[in-house]
Amino acid sequence: DTAVSQTPKYLVTQMGNDKSIKCEQNLGHDTMYWYKQDSKKFLKIMFSYNNKELIINETVPNRFSPKSPDKAHLNLHINSLELGDSAVYFCASSQSYARGEQYFGPGTRLTVT
Amino acid sequence: AQSVSQHNHHVILSEAASLELGCNYSYGGTVNLFWYVQYPGQHLQLLLKYFSGDPLVKGIKGFEAEFIKSKFSFNLRKPSVQWSDTAEYFCAVNIPNSGYALNFGKGTSLLVTP
């Protein structure tokens, strides 16, 4: 009965490939996020969607494209993967745009070889 | 730019020792403050949060934090740590003009030895 789930948990792929990570929340929240955790464990916001609308788009290469088919899902598609994309990607959700308490998914460890 | 600073990057304590992890943020307006914990190989879990009201907040697992507005600080404390507290601890701030995304500190790695 996971609140925020992500698939896959691990993703190993070669440079140049295109891959997607899926995120789903069953909390009824309006807002969803993608964060990137680098090798030094630093977490940084990438995107945020509120009711399927993009509200935050940080300085992220345009090879990264989020898609929100409905407010319970926020997927992350990455084109032309590079070595520097290797990281753990966390999805999160919050009740609403202005309620800061966020619930995190288990993370997807992406390794680009 | 707003930032969150965690002063201790690595902390090693013996069981039953007291813990205090420092967190400062740079933003002059109203903020929401959080501490998250990440146990080895797991996702982030909320330890405690401060939105308004009593500046001393209590969280799960015996943790507490004190918001001191004049010092822009939100330090995490626990009177007696256990081996199971070994984890990465992240202070985070969410600020209205950053779209309410969480701005994280760089984390403090806590190792509790038996």
pLDDT confidence tier of residue B31, bands split at 50, 70 and 90: confident
Residue B1 pLDDT: 57
* Mean pLDDT (whole number) for B70-97: 92
Q: For residue A9, is pLDDT > 70?
A: yes
Q: Do B96 and A98 touch (CB under 8 A)?
A: yes
Measured distance CA(A26)–CA(B50) in Å, rounded: 25
Minimal C-alpha gap between B24 and chain A (Å): 16
Q: Could you tell me if A85 and A102 are in contact, meaning their C-beta atoms sit under 8 angstroms apart?
A: no
Say yes or no: A107 contacts chain B, CB-CB below 8 A.
yes
Close Cβ partners of A36 (under 8 Å, ≥ 6 residues apart): A43, A44, A46, A87, A88, A89, A90
Residue A1 pLDDT: 60
* Mean pLDDT (whole number) for A29-52: 90
More confident residue, A52 or A69: A69
Q: Do B100 and A105 touch (CB under 8 A)?
A: no
More confident residue, B10 or B30: B10
Say yes or no: A9 contacts chain B, CB-CB below 8 A.
no
Q: What is the mean pLDDT of chain A?
A: 91
